[in-house]
Chain A
């Protein structure tokens, strides 16, 4: 199976306090931010690797995983990281973060899918910065492909995927014919979430995204990474979404300690007026 995994780098949520907004509120100032792959996209890469191997012999590749990201040269780091994790090839669509929206990314991905001809586009359900949850759905629509979102489990069948989705009170299982677009949720990296045709159903993966050891980190430097100009994939680079203003969340005011429940109730009634 050949799988295309789109990834986005996001500001490291552990350093969220470093995020600054330009004084005029027009955009987020990205200087000095530390980047990491969007966690859901990392999960998609892990799931893609599981689908293209026999879990018992993960060093032998049984398919191809191509990772793609949109961004400037520095975004190569994100791609190299995924090549170290195990992806086979990488594509960086050259652009800048503020020249993109979900629609443009999906339009460009459609062109890339037509070039690469993967059996599956596997992606995170959303990016943890904008939380838009759009690109997978728009892409499936543009391609006219079947789609399953928020996958918690994946099982390969001949020419299809069984996709388990967690919903209120249970699990829905969909059979999606390939080629298809599937977006993944966080449980996709649990030990028994993903099975390729080659992997025995008794196999248990280590929980989470696999670690990359030093030899893989070194080997990643030599794996193919190509750069494609955005306009080559989507001559129409216009945006459908215009950002009007960014504002930081209001600063939390210091709290007060109350001596007992009576004072608490009094304050809730008379000061906060919530009771």
Chain B
């Protein structure tokens, strides 16, 4: 089927407008990361010096390492908690408190980050006053990120769990699997792709968060977005453009590779199904 919308003049103009809107800021950033001048108003020549600067900037590098660690831990926790929550919500039918669990799992999705951040901060301050811990730092940011990440992971994993035929799990049990074996041998492999998506999603959520980190960070836990944010307030620093460009390149390669892989897997599957039926006819 021809896509009429994409072929009409209006459709094309619209498409171009959207691309410009989405990508002009990114292109600008990439271009200025190679600009010789410190000012973003004029192009004075090509340079790699901001990349060299960034590579020697301890604050940036530390921020990057903290952010990566944090995002990794937050994504891991989110996927683990999200899997359990989704499993309970989808597979256990009706039980007392199901509605409450479902809405609590969804609440952080719609709650503004500012509110999540400030409410966690209030709680932590109170806890610190009465119990003497926890000290604010990576652990507390992780708490906030895992909280939001769990909601997102739950939604992603739930939609996949709903799709898979629960007879598969019954068949496994019928063939001699105890419940945890059913989970490990059948359910888990079937939701693996969703677990990866959930991991990537929650990783990104944590990696680019400023708001919650700003509320919950303490000494020694300045994440990369916090570094960038505080520098940007002091005036733009081209080495940040350089760091951003590196991140964009890494992410783009990842996205392109995974979509190419999915496209090819989908095509191969279609071909195999067609072959199976063609053989029967002959």
* Chain B binds chain A: no
Which residues of A approach B to under 8 Å, CB–CB? Answer: none
- State the B residues within 8 Å of A (CB): none
